[in-house]
Structure 1
Amino acid sequence: MEFEQLHVLGMMSGTSLDGLDMALCKFIPHSTDDKYQVEVLYTETVPYDSKWLQKLNGGFYLEPQKLEELNMEYGHYLSEQILIFKKKCPYPIHLIGSHGHTIFHRPQEAYTLQIGDGKTILDETGIPTACNFRAQDVKLGGQGAPLVPIGDELIYSEFDFCLNLGGFANLSWKHENNRLACDIGPCNMLLNTLSGLLNKPYDTDGNLAKSGNVILTLLEKWNSIPFYSAPFPKSLGREWYHKHFDDDLKSTTNVRDALRTSVEHISDQITAIIKNLCNHEPQKLFITGGGAYNRFLIETLQKKLPPQVQIVIPDATQINFKEAIIFAFLAYLRIQNKNNVLASVTGAQMDHCSGDVYGVW
């Protein structure tokens, strides 16, 4: 089968734990350059039930043997969801690109772990599977993240900046001939945790935050976190988030004020980076991820950005599934032995082709 005929299922489970995103895609190479067009064939998000929310949140604290059991169990879960998806989807699935779910991300210790056993997925679905995309990059001295910028470079290159507002906010951009990127700071992980204190899964349109007041001392404290002044490349994990935000969240007495402060903090950190990068020409900022639905966050961000930066909010498919689309793309590149991780982004020794492949091509 020609590679451009492949239907690749990308699967992403992010730090915000809002569910498993699944996107079946087809990638068409441009005839005139090295870019690609993506055709999204079918999508679905499977929300996590309370059992899986507890398991995935608790994975951080497990002993090695229990963690391996969770790795296998989550592989079974992914297989079940793939088979359910397959029954609904009118298209065949030829290849799976699975991110898994991140339990640990400690690039400074040369360690990152995403669970969801790929061999289990192959055995139970019969579909070749590429997974574990981050580990090789860490072994090559990189951050193992972000990985999405390869898609920004080859699929979404019409935009000057690509901003993902997921559990963490991260940004990629073109600098001279290199694609650069970094994790910026917390986004939905912080906002959803606070919304949960009011028994809401998220802050619809940012209305709760909009009704609150900024806690200046807290904003100054958060904006002074050393990570924000660290040089590129840099990436974040749950460990960093828990260290810098847990105590403040536990002592919160006014959730609306904390949400407002969070929106100010998130928008401050995003605009600080973009202001240093943009020139005086009109530039487009492409925003995806669940935070793109937070109207108050987007309005706050627009007010702080330089006037020449135009925010572009795409359709719901791109907002919800861009990361799943790109993990399908990583798998698509992986089976062709093409580079799917950029050293300019992660800080690795070289561009490389990453991911474990289960199944024969």
Structure 2
Amino acid sequence: MVALTTAIGLMSGTSMDGIDVAVLRTDGEAVVQQGPSLFVPYDDAFRARIEAGLKTAKTIAKRAERPGDLAELERDLTLRHAQAVQAFRTQYQDWRAELVGFHGQTILHRPGEALTVQLGDGALLARETGLPVVYDMRAADMTAGGQGAPLVPAYHQALANSLAPDFRAKMPVAFVNIGGISNVTYVPADGDPIAFDSGPGNQLIDQWMQREGDMAFDEDGNTAAKGSSSAKIVGDYLRLPFFSYPAPKSLDRGDFSLAGLEGLSLSDGARTLAALAAEAVFAARNHMPEEPELWILCGGGRKNPHIVGDLRRLAGTTGTVVVAAEDVGLDGDAMEAEAWAYLAVRSQQGLPLTWPATTGCRKPMPGGVLVQP
């Protein structure tokens, strides 16, 4: 009988809106049993502290550096994660976790300099929760020449192999996580996955709404629904060098800006950036060996009807199908947190988290740091 580990995964992504908590039981390879999930939002003041921390982080030259108030921010962020774990364990007492996978908050990602920084004190989290914690899962990949991202493809591959037969027959499958930054995992019928960041997702839309509309995001795409997309501006973005770079490749939150949208109305800007998010995902097919037969969407961007509608229209031109994660029995909100639980188990067992085709590392790489409470 295969030994399963029950692990909690914690994810705080580029949207910086809060902590996703999810639990699963897995052998770290093929067997995945998903459990419940929970979202714990950050208050506006704490989110503002993280945004300020992004600016401070630009001065970091070495991973261990915590200039300014980043050390205090790291401690407070870790304690919030500990509180999220406690809230989850109180609510779902039937799932007795043995391990925690802790992503932390990325504040700097410069793959060209082999530098990535995630705020998060694994030892403190282990003490606070009383559970072993695996964290710092990107660093080993970078020491092996990788981009340090994306890391979720190992989990995407396990999910693809667990799909119902009708969906599994549609290999190759592309998983698309539309968060602040979008990333794509191409899962072939045989062999290792191919993965890379594909471009901006929700991040630019959120920044636009905050700057021009004093709103955190475009809820349900309501603002974009009143506007029109500028094909010229979308085309200008798609001609930026990033889109011609070969895969694997990864992005930092600051790699794209709102430059070029000046003069647009609030609604036209929101609609244009939604179109860009869809076009960037669709352009990812240029870096795939074959056309995926099925696109599976997860992340917050799958709830934007304009991103999804545009992507479905584009995919229709090639005869491929776009579905939400829920359409194939998965949880599109919890998938990244689930992935960190899955990766923690793989890390504990010394299994690879990344491959040359997912991050550009020289060989399949294990990773992560395990700390005991």
Regarding TM over 0.5, the answer is yes
Q: 2:248 aligns with which of 233, 237, 258?
A: 233
Shift of 1:210: 2.9
C-alpha contact 2:14 2:253 (8 A) present in aligned 1: yes
Q: Say if 1:207 and 1:296, in contact at 8 Å, map to a contact too.
A: no
State which drifts further: 183-192 or 211-220: 211-220
Tell me if 1:11 matches 2:24: no
The residue correspondences of 1:31-50 to structure 2 (distance < 5 A) are 35-50=29-44
Residue in structure 2 matching 1:194, options 208, 220, 223:
208
Q: How many residues align?
A: 349
1:43 counterpart letter in structure 2: S
- Offset of 1:275 from its aligned partner? 5.8
- The root-mean-square deviation of aligned C-alpha atoms, in Å, is 2.3
1:345 is aligned to: 358
Contact kept, 8 Å, 1:37 with 1:155, in 2: the verdict is no
Aligned to 1:303: 313
TM-score (norm 2): 0.87
Report the secondary structure of 1:320's partner residue: coil
Are 1:10 and 1:327, in contact at CA under 8 Å, matched by a contact in 2?
A: yes
In the other structure, the counterpart of 1:263 is: 274
Q: CA offsets, 1:113-156, max 9 Å, x none?
A: 00110000011111100001111111111000000001112222
Shift of 1:221: 2.1
| Alignment check: 8 A CA contact 1:100 1:114 kept | yes
Q: Any runs of at least 4 consecutive aligned residues in structure 1 with deviations exceeding 3 A, and if so which?
A: 246-249, 275-280
Provide the C-alpha distance between the structure 1 equivalents of 2:321 and 2:142, rounded to a whole number of angstroms.
35
Instruction: Judge conservation of contact 1:162–1:173 (CA < 8 Å) in 2.
Output: yes
- Post-superposition shift, 1:201? 3.1
Q: Which runs of 5+ in 1 are unaligned?
A: 30-34
Contact 2:178 2:301 in 1 (8 A): yes
Percent of paired sites with the same residue: 28
Q: Deviations along 1:325-345, whole A, 9 cap, x unmatched?
A: 011000011111111222221
Query: What is residue 134 of structure 2 aligned with on the other side?
Result: 130
SS at match of 1:210: helix
Select 2:182's aligned residue among 159, 166, 169: 169
Counterpart position of 1:72: 75
Greater displacement, 204-213 / 228-237: 204-213
Structure 2's unaligned 5+ residue stretches are 60-65, 162-167
For 1:215 and 1:271, locate their aligned partners in 2 and report how far apart those are by CA, in whole Å: 17
Are 2:209 and 1:222 aligned? no
Q: Distance in 2 between matches of 1:286 and 1:15?
A: 20
Closer, same or farther: CA 205–37 of 1 in aligned 2, 3 Å: farther
Rounded to whole Å, the distance in 2 between the matches of 1:99 and 1:14 is 9
Normalised TM-score (structure 1): 0.90
1:307, distance to aligned residue in structure 2 (A): 4.1
* 2:48 paired with 1:54: yes
